[in-house]
Amino acid sequence: MTSPHSAVDLLHEMGARPGEPLNRCTFVQVGGPAEWFLAVDRREALVEAVRAARRSQLGLTVLGAGSNVLIRDGGLRGLVIKNDTRGCRQIDETLIEVDSGVRFAALARSTARAGLSGLEWAAGIPGAIGGGLPTNAGAYGSELCDVLVSVQALNRAGETVTLDAADLGLSYRDSRVRSGDLQGCIVTALTLQLERGDVAASEREIDRVESLRKANAPVGPSLGSTFRNPSVGPTAGERIEQAGLKGERIGSAQVSERHANYIQNVDVPNARAADFLALIARVQDRVASHSGIRLEPEIAVIGEESSNG
């Protein structure tokens, strides 16, 4: 894993660090090192770092909270930017613009407190809103596309573009940013249309959503919902359970006893992405033999295989 000399100078100038272990930056607490790593907390710094990586033709990965990725044990080449931008601006009574690093849970609470309704469903999602854009994050019957007006993004040439929500191809856990011609676009900000709401009613709804999650999902490091639900028939979790895979374990990776679509990290100090990849493949094979459908991962699997096997 090597970057060209001029790019290395530039990375040093920006304050990027070599070799940062990415298990610290993912919810599941696995992942090899970043060749170069930079955390940014201002939108301008995010834009500058993305443009610098593009100009230097470095590999580039932007992470929010790392709650929808599995990073292989060989880590990530080029520059990994951890997006901690947290700006939020009210444009008019019900229209807001938020930085892409803003966390769903904090945004759901803060907008509810400001008397704005529309994001209560997102209260228990552990990731950033920009990280939720590629999969059109959703829960309890609502999705990001219900409130999204437009995004500001940097295209692959590093130019700033504004894209209307209607042009993003947002559908169930998919978009043109995840799997289409907008792959490689980095979202810097999102404009959301909320509604005037009642503070107490929104906070009650958030409490309800949070207790549903506590009752149904395991706590601790995990990949969250690992597979997308098939378009017809039983959910991914139901199919995994029907295939007798609840509790199935490979190394540190275990199918949750509580919610079969969650794969948990049950041995953090010894965890390796390879265990999770092996368990994902086993689940896919067993569910395919049992119900004839091959489950597709919802999470993004990225990075290099480890040379240590």
Ligand X SMILES: Cc1cc2nc3c(=O)[nH]c(=O)nc-3n(C[C@H](O)[C@H](O)[C@H](O)COP(=O)(O)OP(=O)(O)OC[C@H]3O[C@@H](n4cnc5c(N)ncnc54)[C@H](O)[C@@H]3O)c2cc1C
Out of 173, 178, 228, 272, the active site residue is 173
Minimum CB–partner distance for residue 93 and ligand X (Å): 26
- CA-CA distances (angstroms) from residue 127 to 130, 230, 280? 9, 23, 21
- Let me know if 210 is a catalytic residue: no
Say if CB 147 and CB 118 are below 8 A apart: yes
**What is the contact surface with ligand X in residues (CB under 6 A)?**
27, 61-69, 83, 100, 104, 125-128, 130-132, 134-135, 137-139, 177, 186-187, 222, 224, 300
Out of 3, 56, 117, 225, the active site residue is 225
DSSP-derived secondary structure for 255-284? E-SS-TTEEEES-GGG--HHHHHHHHHHHH
Amino acid at the residue 293? I
Say if CB 91 and CB 108 are below 8 A apart: no
- Let me know if 298 is a catalytic residue: yes
Minimum CB–partner distance for residue 177 and ligand X (Å): 6
| 231/289 with CB nearer ligand X | 231
| 117/265 with CB nearer ligand X | 265
Minimum CB–partner distance for residue 148 and ligand X (Å): 13
- Among 100, 148, 108, 163, which residue's Cα sits nearest to residue 128? 100
| 68/254 with CB nearer ligand X | 68
Task: Indicate the SS3 state at residue 47.
Answer: helix
Structure tokens at 14: 């920006």
| 1/217 with CB nearer ligand X | 217
**Which residues are part of the catalytic machinery?**
173, 225, 298
